[in-house]
Chains A and B, each alone.
Chain A
Amino acid sequence: GENVEQHPSTLSVQEGDSAVIKCTYSDSASNYFPWYKQELGKGPQLIIDIRSNVGEKKDQRIAVTLNKTAKHFSLHITETQPEDSAVYFCAASIEAAGNKLTFGGGTRVLVKP
Chain B
Amino acid sequence: EAQVTQNPRYLITVTGKKLTVTCSQNMNHEYMSWYRQDPGLGLRQIYYSMNVEVTDKGDVPEGYKVSRKEKRNFPLILESPSPNQTSLYFCASSILAGGPDNEQFFGPGTRLTVL
Q: What residues of B have a CB within 8 angstroms of the CB of A103 in the complex? A: 35, 42-44
Q: What residues of B have a CB within 8 angstroms of the CB of A36 in the complex? A: 106
Q: CB of B33 within 8 A of chain A?
A: yes
Task: Verify A9–B40 contact, CB threshold 8 A.
Answer: yes
Secondary structure dominating the interface of A: mixed
Task: Verify A105–B48 contact, CB threshold 8 A.
Answer: no
Task: Verify A97–B98 contact, CB threshold 8 A.
Answer: yes
Task: Verify B59–A43 contact, CB threshold 8 A.
Answer: no
**Category for how many chain A residues contact B:** 20 to 34
**Category for how many chain B residues contact A:** 20 to 34
Task: Verify A46–B90 contact, CB threshold 8 A.
Answer: no
Distance in angstroms from B81 CB to nearest chain A CB is 22
Interface residues of A (CB under 8 A from B): 1, 4, 6, 9, 32, 34, 36, 41-46, 49, 89, 91, 93, 95-106
Closest 8 A-B residue pairs measured CB to CB?
A43-B106, A103-B42, A99-B97, A98-B97, A103-B43, A95-B98, A105-B42, A99-B102
Interface residues of B (CB under 8 A from A): 4, 31, 33, 35, 40-45, 48, 50, 58-59, 90, 92, 94, 96-99, 102-104, 106-109
